[in-house]
Structure 1
Amino acid sequence: MAYDKELAAAIKAASLAARLCRKVQKALIQSDVRSKSGRHQSPVTVADYGSQALVSFVLQQEFPGEFSLIAEEDSNDLRKDGAGAIVERITELVNDSLTSDGSYNVTLSPEDVLKAIDSGKSEGGSQGRHWVLDPVDGTKGFVRGDQYAVALALLDRGKVVLGVLACPNLPLTSTGVADPQCQNNEVGCLFFAEVGGGTYMQPLDGSFTVKVQVSGVENPEEASFFESYEAAHSMHDLSSLIAQKLGVKAAPIRMDSQVKYGALSRGDGAIYLRFPRNGYREKIWDHAAGSIVVTEAGGVVTDAAGNPLDFSRGKYLDLDTGIVVSNHKLMPLVLNAVRASLEEKSKPLH
């Protein structure tokens, strides 16, 4: 495939970042710390910055001459007075992760780490190649000890050509994958997809790989649907109305982050609905990796009017109202229910 080298590097980078995040979340849960001091002091931020620094470093090592990264974080808060201890902790975690991998015989300084974080300032667009990263997607889930993902994608001339979702807290088993190698107690998996190559799932240690496909459910009454865990992230009342019009009987599966895309790609549910509050602008790093993971597994990802998502316009997605994800059979029915529900809610498409 055309992007095999890039995909291998992305899997490696996301796996290392997931290992770092897992370590931070474990310490967070054990200490029961829920920091309410400044943002740059919170444990989830240690994971956020550490993950971004790791992914940036690995990708720059693999592709030194053609590196462009669109990412969520920068080092401004970490360069303020009083942030020295947290920078040292991030640096320690990054170096521990690199040492555990063994591929890179290097020790990064705090300044190296800050520069790696700051390499994610690309604006993207329709020209050239750009990596797209959400270093910890689902920060509230991370703090709760619940679902989150390291989400990494590659854009080539504005199109998503590969995506990796590392999901440290998602069980390997599901209704959509029955594989004898998947043990019931195993938690932590990684989804990856390359354009034209399908979608695959593996444990975080990469010990085996299985191809996955979206649910083949055709009757909405038999479908289950995903939505955001936090009501502030998506309008649950609208999703409920859409589900009602479809005749969906199952309760919604509420889950943080792009883990929903991964779970849907292997058939855990058949529909994902996301309708943010008015005025919210979707960022590309919240959907780039997840969208290709679903589409290469046989699914469809559109806005509320049925338009494909356009990742060529920089950091933001210009959407019609919301995001709808399903299989090809259900999608026309879901979009009809979306339109009817929006009309009923007096929220015109525009």
Structure 2
Amino acid sequence: MCICSMAYEKELAAAKKAVSLAARLCQKLQRSLSQSDILTKPDNSPVTVADFGSQVVVTLVLQKELQPEPLSLVAEEDSGELRKNGAEAVLESIANLVKDTLDSDGYYPSSPLSTDHVLRAIECGRSEGGSTGRHWVLDPIDGTRGFVRGEQYAVGLALLVEGQVVLGVMACPNLPLACDTQKPSSDEVGCLFSATKGDGSYVQPLKGDGTPQKVQVSSIDNPEEAKFFESYHKPMPIHSSIAKKLGIKSLPVRMDSQAKYGALAQGGGEIYLRFTRNGYQESIWDHAAGSIVTTEAGGVVMDAAGNALDFSRGKHLCHKTGIIVTTEKLKPWLLKAVKESMEEDKLHLLQLQHV
């Protein structure tokens, strides 16, 4: 074990405990999800009682495991919708879900959990992060749309120290342990990824006490043989342009959440493309855990200009359009295809403006 890993041994154990329990909560609810469990945020994106419950579980576990250290947490969900009149039943449902999850592990066997405790735990995630100090970064359910459909989602937790991601843990309950993301077998589904800076990336079964196994990105060096991942929801046309320039023959693998990072880290594909609409700001919780899992497995995470992502600027990433993830062997090919496709896009827009 390297010195860096030993320095964060306590934090890694706490993160794995927190994420595993949060994933257990999510799995339980996904099997019985009803319309009353789904709310709509002001931006029209879905949020479920599992999103809130997962955030509460992670917060409570980190607070207990890391005491007396104060917890600075940058998390996706806030309590605004839950403090409105009429949200009492939802709050009670979240409290019961969290208590059942912790009780099932003997974690808080006799502790009463009130709705006030739930609200305070959610509001603990209000930190802004930044370039100084230690901040945990949490996405309690990344890929809520996939969660609602019964498909891929992830619980992602990372630790920032002085603006650098030094540790990441990610649960992907519906991702197969084997590399083939298209043919999962029922007894090989459910991954818990973990990575510490300088110590590699590991995966173990989400259930049970399996030994963590080191993972490595694919060794494919011919871009025509590469498989690429993109989001299930509204993939951008530039993705197909890039794939065409690379000569990729296979269809894209579409899935929600940072599960794409995990699949790439264990060699299930070679390229992940994420271009978004103009003006969209990427949140750090959507990439922090997945990025270190992938880079410690030998992968590369960068913006469209080839720069590493900067997690030190607060809740949002400041980067040039697009995030691309790949292997060192395919990086030159991919950057060339991205540059050509972006130049063609700009030319096309200029031509439209003059029609």
- Separation of aligned partners in 2, 1:266 and 1:132: 23
Alignment check: 8 A CA contact 2:262 2:290 kept: yes
Provide the secondary structure at the position in 2 that maps to 1:51: helix
Report Cα offsets for 1:53-92 as digits up to 9, x if no partner.
0101111112232310000111121111111111111000
Residue 18 of structure 2 contacts residue 57 of structure 2 at CA under 8 Å; is this kept in 1? yes
CA distance in 2, matches of 1:119, 1:347: 47
Match of residue 286 from structure 1: 286
Contact map agreement 1:44 1:142 (CA 8 A) in 2: no
Map residues 200-279 of structure 1 onto 2, 5 A cutoff. 200-208=202-210, 209-231=212-234, 234-235=235-236, 237-279=237-279
Alignment of 1:187-206 (within 5 A): 187-206=189-208
Cα distance change on mapping 1:37 and 1:337 into 2, 3 Å: closer
- Equivalent residues of 1:44, 1:143 under 8 A apart: no
CA distance in 2, matches of 1:140, 1:249: 28
CA contact (8 A) 2:153 2:173 kept: yes
Counterpart of 1:310?
A: 310
Would you say the 8 A contact 1:24–1:43 is kept in 2? Answer: no
Question: What is the CA–CA distance in structure 2 between the aligned matches of 1:9 and 1:110, rounded to whole Å?
Answer: 24
Query: Which runs of 5 or more residues in structure 1 are unaligned?
Result: 177-181
- Give the alignment's TM-score, normalised by structure 1: 0.92
Count residues in correspondence: 336
Q: Which amino acid aligns with 1:278?
A: N
RMSD of aligned Cα (Å): 2.0
State the match for 2:168 in structure 1: 163
37 and 211 in structure 1: CA distance in 2 versus 1, 3 angstrom threshold: closer
Amino acid paired to 2:77: E
Q: Which is further off, 99-108 or 60-69?
A: 99-108
> For residues 255 and 347 of structure 1, what CA distance do their matches in structure 2 show?
30
- State which of 6, 9, 28 in structure 1 corresponds to 2:11: 6
Q: 1:303, 1:70 → 2: CA distance?
A: 22
SS of match in other structure, 1:310: coil
Q: Runs in 1 of length 4+ with deviation above 4 angstroms?
A: 34-40
Q: Secondary structure at the match of 2:126?
A: coil
Structure 1 distance, partners of 2:149, 2:335, is: 33
Q: State the partner residue of 1:49.
A: 52
TM-score by length of 2: 0.90
Query: Aligned ranges for residues 130-149 of structure 1 at < 5 Å?
Result: 130-149=135-154
C-alpha separation in 1, matches of 2:70 and 2:40:
36
How far apart, in 1, do the equivalents of 2:206 and 2:275 lie?
A: 31
- The separation in 2 between residues aligned to 1:160 and 1:289, in whole angstroms, is 8
Q: Which amino acid in structure 2 is aligned with residue 201 of structure 1?
A: V
Q: How does 1:327-342 map to 2 (within 5 A)?
A: 327-342=327-342
Residue among 187, 203, 224 paired with 1:185: 187
Q: 2:87 aligns with which of 83, 88, 112?
A: 83
- Specify every segment of 5 or more residues in structure 2 that has no aligned partner in the other structure, as ranges: 349-355
Q: Is the 8 A contact 2:29 2:50 kept in 1?
A: yes
Question: 1:201-255 CA distances to partner (integer Å, 9 max, x unpaired)?
Answer: 1111242121111111100011110011111xx41x1010001101111110011
Contact 2:306/2:335 (CA < 8 Å) preserved in 1?
Answer: yes
Mapped to 2, the partners of 1:317 and 1:340 lie a distance apart of: 24
**Deviation for aligned residue 1:173:** 1.9
Find the counterpart in structure 2 of residue 99 from structure 1: 103
Please tell me the residue identity of whatever aligns with 2:242: I
Matching residue's letter, 2:124 = S
1:88-131 per-residue CA deviation (whole Å, 9 max, x = no partner) reads 11000101111111133423211111100100000000001000
Q: Distance in 2 between matches of 1:247 and 1:80?
A: 52
Q: Which residue of 1 aligns with 2:77?
A: 73
Offset, 1:36 = 7.3
Sort the Cα spacing of 1:37 and 1:202 in 2 relative to 1 into closer, same or farther, 3 A: closer
